[in-house]
Amino acid sequence: MSHDPRFFAFLKERIGLDVASVGEAIIERAVRQRSQAVNAQTASDYWQHLQCSEDEQQALIEAVIVPETWFFRYPESFATLARLAKTRLADIKQMRALRILSLPCSTGEEPYSIAMALLDAGLAPHQFKVQGMDVSPLSLERARRGVYGKNSFRGGDIGFRDRHFTEYDDGYHIADRVREQVRLQVGNLLDPALLANEASYDFVFCRNLLIYFDQPTQKQVFDVLKGLTHEDGVLFIGPAEGSLLGRHGMRSIGVPQSFAFSRHAEPAKPEPVFTPMPAPLPQRSAAPIPTKPRPFSTTSAHVVPIKAPPSDAADLLSQIATLANEGKSAEARAACERYLSNHPPAAQVFYWLGLLSDVAGSALEAQGYYRKALYLEPQHPQALMHLAALLESQGDSAGARRLQARAARSERADSESKR
């Protein structure tokens, strides 16, 4: 079933997924899993079954978009939301409740984090409502259940768990006062009728989604998001997506690490430009492999301790680095594909794919891979520097400055941690 374009086209049509953004291996693995589940012997057998079964179509989508998320991911976004919400209520003279949208909302961690942040900031339940939306009914069912394991609580500050959850044998149950602030429903951003009869939202969270679309689909989705966001509202995105919004007339509100954009914000003062020094291609063969994330999950400022990679994964990472540094591009790319076929996605692998594409002159493909690396590891230094250089060469100086500043902040933080 290798490299069968029919499945790539199906996912592109249904959920907008651009195969170049994640690599063919991830999709092929999902197709193999579903083929085995329905006892399909060949790609054509599974394709025929897929065409005849809406349930199987959804099952394949679910296999590709298994979520990886946790509460208060990008914590500064929620702190910024709390401050802006109070200002927004004053602006509208508290004549109505604030409307907040989270999509994709995955298994509920993001919309519930929004509700907890606003309740903790002192907002009353009648002052805001949160709408959570996702293409996955399975994820929404888990969100409605509101029961979470320890993997949903990460980072240094999890005091909110004591305030808003009760621990039982099967996990942590979210409090009804939080659950009641959130309404959940199935929805697809590619649906032209999405929320057509709804009023615009004061705040919209749509994070780590645009990086999985090609440019025409990004423009289509951005137009939808812009229409859903009130003209005085704020759109929160993922850390690798700022330059995409900048090209469409949105401006950062200027709060570091909030990843918040507004239509009418004044231009932020230019941040100091970090000029990277030329360096040899890096070898990070012992780099740990992040917990497995998937497309359309709504990744973090906190580093999560994880186990060392299996020896075969570490050996393959070392092999990729060696091949790339020896200039054996085709062999290095093939090794990257082998890695993605047999192991969870790793930022370093997508960085290598970006670099190999960059060297080959495929700028657009390289940009997609660098963004994928930053989705998995937001402060990946080489991906930040190379993507910044790429954006600068394309005339996106503002986007390049933002990435360079992030690289500089990361370097300073790393230096301070070693003192």
- Whether 248 shows a pLDDT value over 50: the answer reads yes
Identify residue 256 by its one-letter amino acid code.
P
376-388 confidence digits (pLDDT tens): 888 888 888 788 8
For the record, the structure tokens of 239 come out as 């850390």
Computed over every residue of the chain, the mean pLDDT equals 81
Quick one: pLDDT at residue 216?
84
- Whether 83 shows a pLDDT value over 80: the answer reads yes
- Of 151-155, 206-210, 216-220, 272-276, the least confident: 272-276
Residue 375's SS3 state is helix
- Going by pLDDT thresholds of 50, 70 and 90, the confidence category of residue 414 is low
One DSSP character per residue, 63-78 reads: HH------TTSSHHHH
311-417 folds as 1.25.40
75-262 folds as Rossmann fold (3.40.50)
Q: pLDDT exceeding 70 applies to what percent of the chain?
A: 81
For the record, the structure tokens of 204 come out as 């919209």
Other Cβ atoms closer than 10 A to 396: 18
Other Cβ atoms closer than 10 A to 93: 7
Identify residue 387 by its one-letter amino acid code.
L
- Going by pLDDT thresholds of 50, 70 and 90, the confidence category of residue 301 is very low
Token pair 């959940």 is at which residue?
184
One DSSP character per residue, 31-57 reads: HHHHHHHTT--SHHHHHHHHHH-HHHH
- Whether 291 shows a pLDDT value over 60: the answer reads no
22-49 confidence digits (pLDDT tens): 677 778 888 998 999 999 989 899 999 9
Residue 129's SS3 state is strand
- Of 273, 289, 282, the closest CA to residue 377 belongs to 289
- List the domain boundaries for the chain: 5-64, 75-262, 311-417
C-alpha distances in Å from residue 386, one per residue of 275, 352, 392:
11, 11, 10
Quick one: pLDDT at residue 306?
35
Quick one: pLDDT at residue 283?
40
- Of 208-212, 292-296, 352-356, the least confident: 292-296
Mean pLDDT of 50-60: 88
Mean pLDDT of 321-332: 80
Q: What is the dihedral of CA 330, 335, 336, 341, to 10 degrees?
A: 130
368 and 20 Cβ atoms separated by less than 8 Å: yes
C-alpha distances in Å from residue 136, one per residue of 65, 213, 416:
8, 18, 42
Quick one: pLDDT at residue 66?
62
303-313 confidence digits (pLDDT tens): 333 344 456 78
DSSP element (H, E) containing 372: helix 363-376
Alpha carbon distance 80, 355 (integer Å): 34
Which residues are within 8 A (CB) of 75 and not within 5 positions of it... i.e. 6 or more apart?
155, 157, 301, 302
Identify residue 129 by its one-letter amino acid code.
K
258-287 confidence digits (pLDDT tens): 889 997 544 444 433 333 333 334 443 333
- Going by pLDDT thresholds of 50, 70 and 90, the confidence category of residue 417 is low
Which residues are within 8 A (CB) of 382 and not within 5 positions of it... i.e. 6 or more apart?
282, 351, 355
- Of 159, 167, 171, the closest CA to residue 116 belongs to 159
